[in-house]
Amino acid sequence: MTEPEAVPSPPVTLIPTSPVPARVPPVAPPDEGARRIAPEPPFRRPQLRAGVVAVLATMLLLGVGFNVVASLGVAGVSPGSAQGPFLKNPNGTLEVSRLLGVNITSPELFWLRPSATDYQPFLGAGDNGFYGPTDPALLNETAAYAAELGLTNVTVPVDLVTPSASGLGADVTPQAALVQIPRVANMSGLNQSVLLTLVNQEIVPPLFSWLGTPYVNVVLLDLALLPLLPHPPAPLPGRR
């Protein structure tokens, strides 16, 4: 009896396997102190120095640099605005501001409206002693202003006989300047037509021909009048 023929077995393919890592022992949980958040680092000198430099640089840039650049820019575009509103008298010894009224009393010049503060800037606020509309003293004061101006038989513009709220205004209405022409002509010896032309030249029209009202700056008007006077009075009071 013959043995059965052996059947060959298929070849065995070996699959590479990665080495098994060594078993790491478990880590013990951190203690309670390690769980706490670390405190913020203390304030150091480099931080202080950087803060001081940043503050000083900002102050120089915005407090000095910006003003210098703005002043130089305005001086190039409008020198008069950059140098301030001060004007020299014809003799060059005094300066007055075109924005503030001054105490003009020379009869050869045009006068401003009354001032309860004597045109002192530091007294321009507060109670200036104005009278109410029903106070008899208001009528007496108005009559006194009109008599001082020599306007007894004419219609007096209201701004010539009433103080302004601040007592510092340098502007009057064109009517308030025109009504003074006879007095100025009589006291200065100039022709009324010359004074009329001068006043008309100093009338500032409203902005855009409709915004505001026309006005005359008496300070500028008198500065233009001084060179025309045969015997100029004292310069306009101002700052030395």
Q: For the chain, what is the domain count?
A: 2
Average pLDDT for residues 100-122, to the nearest whole number?
81
- Asked whether residue 96 is assigned to any structural domain, the reply reads yes
Tens digit of each residue's pLDDT (9 = 90 or more) over 154-192: 888 888 888 777 777 889 999 999 999 999 999 899 999
In this predicted model, which residue has the larger pLDDT, 24 or 101? 101
Residues 190 and 74 in one domain: no
Three-state SS across the chain? CCCCCCCCCCCCCCCCCCCCCCCCCCCCCCCCCCCCCCCCCCCCHHHHHHHHHHHHHHHHHHHHHHHHHHHHHHHHHCHHHHHCCEEECCCCCCEEECCCCCCCCCCCCCCCCCCCCCCCHHHCCCCCCCCCCCCHHHHHHHHHHHHHHCCCCCCCCHHHCCCCCCCCCCEECHHHHHCCHHHHHHHHCCCHHHHHHHHHHHEECCECCCECCCEEEHHHHHHHHHHHCCCCCCCCCCEC
* 91 lies in the same domain as 75: no
pLDDT, tens digit, for every residue of 26-81? 665 655 555 555 555 555 567 778 888 899 999 999 888 888 888 787 777 766 55
Residues spanned by the domain of 67: 51-79
Is position 162 within any domain? Answer: yes
How does residue 113 score in pLDDT terms, banded at 50, 70 and 90? Answer: confident
**Structural domain contains residue 42:** no
pTM over 0.85: no
In-domain check, residue 5: no
Q: Are residues 184 and 144 in the same domain?
A: yes
